[in-house]
Structure 1
């Protein structure tokens, strides 16, 4: 007796159509309204393989898909790519997989590229995922991301370097605690005269809120440990290496009353400051860079670098996505929950000290 022919599965259709199984499911169920090349490839593959969706089984599986979606506005952004890497590891610890989607914040269409493992025209689509993490490029959260996600049946949260979203639960960097870490570290090394090379707040710039919060945090932290500073040592300007060099040259080269440490708003400014100190043969002034870009690990090893604690941020995101027996349904949650995570030191000098 000849063996029974093998029955095609949704995985077979996905492989032939070169899309994800989630896309196959949405196309064949009619939940993906777009009639494009992707939809045509899926329907053609299903026809060729004589595949028919088992909607009864899909209904039984709908309570849990073991899938978290991470939607990024810009996959080339250092913060987004680093967080995604840690999110994949953390999701695996919770028995989940990650579906990465790329979407333009204007909703003019999904971006395409090798990182796009799915094609979705709306990041708040309530498809087959257990939770959704939004990584926007701009602050505040685009209204369409926030308003739709808030009412979606799937838990949606925001992860970003900026202040918490007011409408969705979020995980962000704790600017105050991060600055406290920097000031405390300098004080522990006997450094009591600190200048801050910050960025000038600019309403047109996406980092404006963060820049302003760091300036406020610096004043507060310096006062708490009786650090010597003043308006003349709180210098705001562009985020460039040239600016760090010029400001440090003037600050350290012309005054007898000089700071013994510098806190810089990012790695570029800190690199310029370190070059200026080298030109002045100053090897004792300590430079700290507060930077949310992973490339900061590649700068001068003498610079103390604080970067986002992506591991803890991914864990915090997982805790917001993981319901407990005491949790009400997502749509009845009384309000957003905001978790702030301080940055962490990555410099070898700090680890050795």
Structure 2
């Protein structure tokens, strides 16, 4: 006897149509069976034909796994945080897993979000700190078995795994590229030194410029918030007074670099021939600016892949990991000009430290 028109298909119906057991159907549709073979294809085809949708939320209540991960985004959500959210969501969807997202401001809200996700039996929590503020620490009352992975920033605690981009390598890439392009006097528009990442970048900048003999004038190193207005005003002040000028500027983010380009246009300074501009935080704006901006690109796909691996590998006997991944430098028009006295005419491209 066939099913009535208004009856709901069951897992047994899917199993019968696919010619497998109900246990196999459950493993395939829940993502526990990862093989993409004939059995999996038959199960998915049968489920689609019968319009069958498994209730994974109810299944989670009957098991000890929620198949849900938590993601906490701290501070303003920029292009990096948005990319991490997109990549993580896509990967979990492909594994028939779910993502619980919280966007918070401040350390108290961060701790509250982590406690809330633990109470909802998430299988792990991934924390993306703000670029402008280091987290103060991890709540002490979280379950010991809950894996927590932090993406960048100052580590929450010694008990938390960390994955991110090697900040010092980012600065080394930019300075090495500028030196290869005959930069002899480099300025730096930095973020405020209120995070470990900003401090590490500035420390690396100071060490390398001293080592290479391209130490900047004192007023060529500026600290403050990241905005186009600040980038514009700082560069106007550096270039408009008629004294010695830098021939390259490193900017803490893309908004500062865009402001720097605006100042150069107003002053009639040619980029990159008279002044080279490079930035951290690669973004779509770097591709549509005129000229296009040389920028550091974080290895976001590798970061998300490694964060998921650390969440899934976490167990009572697994020690926290610290994984610093190498960045890439996207060399574009704002720094790329043939070197004086050189035949090197290589086109702009991607370089990995």
TM-score bin (small chain): 0.5 to 0.7
* Per-residue deviation, 1:109: 11
Q: Secondary structure at the match of 2:117?
A: coil
Q: 1:221 to 1:322 in 2, by over 3 A?
A: farther
**RMSD across aligned C-alpha pairs, in angstroms?**
3.8
CA contact (8 A) 1:71 1:101 kept: yes
1:287 aligns with 2:291: no
Show the counterpart of 1:309: 299
Name stretches of at least 5 consecutive residues in structure 1 with no aligned partner: 10-50, 112-119, 324-328
* Per-residue deviation, 1:76: 4.4
* Per-residue deviation, 1:126: 6.1
Show the counterpart of 1:164: 155
CA contact (8 A) 1:71 1:123 kept: no
Equivalent residues in 2 for 1:75-154 (5 A)? 76-91=77-92, 95=95, 97-102=97-102, 104=104, 106-107=108-109, 122-125=116-119, 127=121, 129-137=122-130, 139-141=133-135, 143=137, 145-149=138-142, 151-154=143-146
Q: Secondary structure at the match of 1:339?
A: strand
* Per-residue deviation, 1:193: 1.8
Equivalent residues in 2 for 1:19-98 (5 A)? 58-59=62-63, 62=64, 67-73=68-74, 76-91=77-92, 95=95, 97-98=97-98
CA contact (8 A) 1:253 1:280 kept: yes
Equivalent residues in 2 for 1:270-349 (5 A)? 270-283=257-270, 284=273, 285-291=275-281, 297-323=287-313, 330-334=315-319, 336-346=320-330, 348-349=332-333
* Per-residue deviation, 1:176: 0.8
1:257 aligns with 2:244: yes
Q: Normalising to structure 1: TM-score of the pair? A: 0.66
* Per-residue deviation, 1:209: 3.5
Q: 1:57 to 1:210 in 2, by over 3 A?
A: closer
Q: Secondary structure at the match of 1:322?
A: helix
Q: Secondary structure at the match of 1:122?
A: helix
Q: 1:253 to 1:96 in 2, by over 3 A?
A: same
Q: 1:194 to 1:3 in 2, by over 3 A?
A: closer
Q: 1:247 to 1:146 in 2, by over 3 A?
A: same
1:244 aligns with 2:234: no
CA contact (8 A) 2:72 2:102 kept: yes
* Per-residue deviation, 1:221: 2.5
Name stretches of at least 5 consecutive residues in structure 2 with no aligned partner: 12-54, 337-346
Give CA deviations for 1:76-129 in whole Å, capped at 9, x if unaligned. Answer: 443322111122344467x46341322546459999xxxxxxxx97022361x4
CA contact (8 A) 2:282 2:295 kept: no
* Per-residue deviation, 1:219: 0.7
Q: Normalising to structure 2: TM-score of the pair? A: 0.66
Q: 1:303 to 1:170 in 2, by over 3 A?
A: same
Give CA deviations for 1:133-176 in whole Å, capped at 9, x if unaligned. Answer: 12344744354x44344x4423221124x233334111233221
Q: 1:320 to 1:96 in 2, by over 3 A?
A: farther
Q: 1:299 to 1:193 in 2, by over 3 A?
A: same
Q: 1:55 to 1:189 in 2, by over 3 A?
A: closer
CA distance in 2 between partners of 1:97 and 1:222 (Å): 47
Show the counterpart of 1:178: 170
CA contact (8 A) 1:102 1:110 kept: no
Q: 1:6 to 1:154 in 2, by over 3 A?
A: same
Q: How many residues align?
A: 284
